[in-house]
Amino acid sequence: MTPSRFLLWSTGVLAILFLMAPVLAVLPLSFSAGSFLFYPLPGLSLRWYADFWSSDFWLPALWNSLRVGSVAALLAGSLGTLAAFGLWRAPFPGKTLIMAILLAPMVVPAIIVAVALLLAFGPLGLTNSFTGLVLGHAALGAPFVVVTVLAALQQFDAVQLRAAASCGASPARAFWRVCLPQIMPGVAAGAVFAFATSLDEVAVALFIAGPAQRTLPRQMFSGLNDSISLTIMAAAMVLVLISGLLLLAVTLLKRER
């Protein structure tokens, strides 16, 4: 191995260890037989996982997160794909400005987005509702779909659309039958990122969701404020496992492209 390659690999490993260190330090506490956040562990136990899966608070919060994330990912995937195709296909004045607006939720702090959604949804009666929460999470996830679909469209030959049109296909049919199947890995990857964004989001849930729409991150936030229980560590482990599965799904989708 050359020195430059060794340096590259060493830097990558150190970066991964730096990012994983907090997770590796905290998650073993979910298997603690004690009741407090401290090392060394007094013993190993699955009591906190049993408490998580039998709780009337944690389990509904997990199902709410999965339900809201799935619908938000579907909505963000549909709208983000159409937006990306329009930006790629049709040149028009102000295209850069529209692109910046679409990608704004990726760079604007989540608390600002949450306050803006609260002010916008309040008069419409969308606060304290699944609809408002789904729309808010879809707005946060749509930029990821736009980015991945635009990247997939760069590999697509627009001549195929003209060929489909010459055979009598309408623009919508050409997109559905010719373009969409080829960019589907990018669409699916963007939807996975949108789902992950929804699964991890807490600021919008705090401002928009009501008691019946508690998501898992919001329940964890509330648990830290009320009384610290090691069930939070079990919930964190569940989120890490789901995130790992999502990362695996994105990796498989990239191989298909």
> What contacts 180, CB < 8 A, 6 or more positions away?
81, 187
Q: Residue written as tokens 């990912």? A: 73
Whole-angstrom distance between the N-terminal and C-terminal Cα of the chain?
Answer: 30
| Per-residue pLDDT at 254 | 63
Q: Going by C-beta distance under 8 Å and a sequence separation of 6 or more, which residues neighbour residue 182?
A: 152, 155, 156
Query: Which token pair is 64?
Result: 């709410």
Identify which of 29, 141, 134, 26 has the alpha carbon closest to the alpha carbon of residue 83: 141
**What pLDDT is stored for residue 76 in this prediction?**
92
Q: What's the per-residue H, E or C state across 44-77?
A: ECCHHHHHHHHCCCHHHHHHHHHHHHHHHHHHHH
Residue 253's pLDDT is 65
- Report residue 182 as tokens: 């080829």
As averages over each run of 10 residues, the pLDDT of the chain (257 residues) reads 77 84 80 76 82 84 89 92 85 80 84 88 85 90 90 83 80 82 86 88 85 83 71 83 80 65
pLDDT of residue 75: 93
Which of 87, 122, 119 is closest to 101 using CA atoms? 87
Please report the pLDDT score of residue 240 as a whole number.
82
User: Does the pTM exceed 0.75?
Assistant: yes
> Which contacts qualify for 214-217: CB closer than 8 Å, 24 or more apart?
214/57, 214/60, 214/61, 214/64, 215/61, 215/64, 215/65, 215/68, 215/133, 216/58, 216/61, 216/62, 216/64, 216/65, 217/65
Per-residue model confidence (pLDDT) at position 9: 83
The predicted structure's pLDDT at residue 26: 77
| Residue-range domain boundaries for the chain | 44-256
Pick from 149, 151, 140, 147: which is nearest to 196 by CA? Answer: 140
Rg of the chain over Cα atoms, rounded to whole angstroms, equals 22
Given 2.40.170.20, 2.60.120.10, 1.10.3720.10, 3.30.470.20, which CATH number is that of 44-256?
1.10.3720.10
d(Cα 230, Cα 221) in Å, to the nearest integer? 13
